[in-house]
Amino acid sequence: MTDVTRKHTGQRMSQIVTHGDTIYLAGQVGTAGASVAQQTQDCLDKIDALLAEAGSSKTRILQTVIWLADMKDFAGMNAVWDAWVPEGHAPARACGEAKLAREDFLVEFIVTAARA
């Protein structure tokens, strides 16, 4: 049986959960009130750090789910995302509109990756 490991665990969630060679990250949000571009970059920086801590990297992302508070920000988010994803390593991805936890959050990323 494969162990489940949790890191940065609080009452409601863990920031990193690993099961075997699969890494699950909690939803990542950026600096509240910042532009969608800055919030996207903040999220991606957090994802880089969490994946490194879990023994992986953005080249090993399997799937990303992106929630935008408003789809009008799709192009602005994608401009930052496209610059961040290494060529040839685009994960399976979904993007939709949802009401986020706070009104000043514009984007949230949920990532599943493979251990390196």
Residue 58 tokens read as 């953005």
Distance of CA 2 to the CA centre of its chain: 24
What top-level class would CATH report for the domain 4-114? alpha beta
**Residue corresponding to tokens 């489940």:** 4
Q: Which of 56, 59, 1 is nearest to 25 (CA)?
A: 56
Ranges of residues in the chain whose predicted pLDDT is under 70: 1
39 three-state secondary structure: helix
- What are the pLDDT digits (tens) for 95-106? 999 999 999 999
pTM: 0.95
How far is residue 24's CA from residue 26's CA, in Å, rounded to a whole number?
7
Give 3-state DSSP helix, strand, coil % of the chain, rounded to 5. 30, 35, 35
